Structure 1
Amino acid sequence: MKEKIKIFLETDLLEKYLLGTTSQEETLQVERYIAMYPEVRTTYNELQDNLEVFAKMHSMKTPDGLKERIQNRIKSENTGRKRFFRYAIAASFTALLFAGASYFFWNQNQSLQEENLIVNTKIQNLEENMRIQLEDVRNQFIVLNNPKTKRLNVKGNSKAKELKAVAYINPVKKLSYINVSKLPNLPENQCYQMWAEVNGQMLNLGVIQEATDSEKLMALPYAENAVGYITIEPTGGNTSPTVENIVANISY
């Protein structure tokens, strides 16, 4: 029986159940195990508490003034439409005035449509960014709480002895993250940059920001026998790694 519970806990069904992504059959199985086995119930409660803390840590604030800007845009559109009808009625007294007013309001309407398109595009981009960030938070939660996740301690070489980081590798979910907790100081004209060699291709993962947040994770592309590198590059980053300035290797 203990082996059965152990096998169940090594799956990610509890995490999926918490995030609402289980199928109907999986949901019934999880709820049955929670009700029957105290070990599963205890693990479920711990994951629930972890998820609540994790969600609060990574909660995303809606950009200031977004709601007001959208409301003002709607009011502006309504005002524009009312003005259009008032002018249209007045313009009916004469064909000449009607033609001039029609052109004027057609032009106004085109401008409103273009502005609406810009606003809608910005809103869609914001929604997509929020979706991507929420997906990243979900993946981080799974990686940090899944028993199959491997932890690799990363240390710098002689060029960056104080560098410290932890890589989290989950071969089941095929997810990888790294938490760079300490970076040695560099001159203002230099920075640290992250790279990954995946299937023979070198990928630029961007400049590593100052490690002021010990909980911040940086996503790594997952692949068999992938290798990560941290290098010292000119401020702003480089298009290809400076091999002689490699300060840390991460094999995962």
Structure 2
Amino acid sequence: MKDKIRLFLESDLLEQYLLGTTTTEQSLQVERYIAMYPEVRENYMELQENLEAYAKLHALKAPEGLKEKILQKIRAQRSARRKFLRYAVAASFAALFFAGSSYFFWNQNQNLQQENAIVNNKIRTLEADMREQLEDVRNQFIVLNNPQTRKYLVNGNKKASDLKAIAYINPVKKLSYINVRNLPNLPENQCYQMWAEVNGEMVNLGVLRDIDDKDKLLALPYAEKALGYITIEPKGGNSTPTVQNIVANIRY
């Protein structure tokens, strides 16, 4: 029985249930375990508290003024549509006298359709970004709370001795993250850039900015026996890593 409970706790069903991503069958199984086994119930309550705290700490805010901009677009659309309807009614009575006006209204309709398509595309893009950010928060929560996650301390070499980072690797969920805790100052014409060597291919993970949130996790591409690097590059980043300027190695 203990093995059964242990295997259940080592799975990610509790995390998935908390995030609402389980199937109906999986949800029934989780609820049955919570009701039957105090150990599972206690773990569930702890995960729930951790998730609430983590969600509050990393609450995602929409860009400043985005909601108001979308509402203004919608109001403008409605106003333009009402205006178009008034023009259309007037045109129905004057069509015999103003045949050329039909092109004007057709053009107005085309413009309205284009504006509507632009607003809809922006909303879809925003929704996709929010889904992606929510998935990233879910993965971070799993990595930080799953007992099978391995934790590695990363220190800089002589070129950046004060560089400090922590890598979190979960081989079961195939998730990798790094938390850069400290970046030594560089001249204005240089920057730190992160790389990952995955299956023999070097992947550019982007320039590391000044740290404004020391608890922020950066996603790493997962692969068995992968390597990660932090290098010093010219300002703006480089297309390939400068090997002689490697300041930290990350093995995961």
* Range into which the TM-score falls when normalised by the shorter chain: over 0.9
Q: Deviations along 1:154-176, whole A, 9 cap, x unmatched?
A: 11111111111110111111110
* Aligned residue identity for 1:29: Q
Residue of structure 2 equivalent to 1:191:
191
- What is the TM-score with the length of structure 2 in the denominator? 0.93
Tell whether 2:170 aligns with 1:170.
Answer: yes
Deviation at 1:94, TM superposition (A): 5.1
- In structure 2, C-alpha distance between the alignment counterparts of 1:156 and 1:81, rounded to whole Å: 61
Q: Deviations along 1:111-144, whole A, 9 cap, x unmatched?
A: 2222222111111111111111111011100111
Conserved? CA contact 1:88–1:101, under 8 Å: no
RMSD value over aligned CA atoms? 1.7
- What is the TM-score with the length of structure 1 in the denominator? 0.93
Q: Deviations along 1:99-121, whole A, 9 cap, x unmatched?
A: 22211111111122222221111
Conserved? CA contact 1:155–1:163, under 8 Å: yes
* Structure 1 residues 95 and 183: CA distance shift in structure 2, 3 A: same
- In structure 2, C-alpha distance between the alignment counterparts of 1:94 and 1:229, rounded to whole Å: 71
Deviation at 1:34, TM superposition (A): 1.9
Q: Deviations along 1:25-81, whole A, 9 cap, x unmatched?
A: 332332232223222222111110000011112222233433433333333333333
Conserved? CA contact 1:196–1:220, under 8 Å: yes
* Structure 1 residues 62 and 2: CA distance shift in structure 2, 3 A: same
Query: Which ranges in structure 1 are unaligned for 5 or more consecutive residues?
Result: none
Conserved? CA contact 1:231–1:245, under 8 Å: yes
* Aligned residue identity for 2:61: K
Aligned identity (percent) is 69
* Aligned residue identity for 1:204: N
Query: Which ranges in structure 2 are unaligned for 5 or more consecutive residues?
Result: none
Residue of structure 1 equivalent to 2:87:
87
- In structure 2, C-alpha distance between the alignment counterparts of 1:163 and 1:219, rounded to whole Å: 18
Q: How does 1:148-227 map to 2 (within 5 A)?
A: 148-227=148-227
* Aligned residue identity for 2:151: R
Tell whether 2:29 aligns with 1:34.
Answer: no
SS at match of 2:204: strand
Deviation at 1:206, TM superposition (A): 0.2
Runs of 4+ residues over 6 Å off in structure 1: none
Aligned length: 251
Conserved? CA contact 1:87–1:101, under 8 Å: no
Q: How does 1:19-168 map to 2 (within 5 A)?
A: 19-91=19-91, 92-93=93-94, 95-97=96-98, 99-168=99-168
- In structure 2, C-alpha distance between the alignment counterparts of 1:22 and 1:248, rounded to whole Å: 39
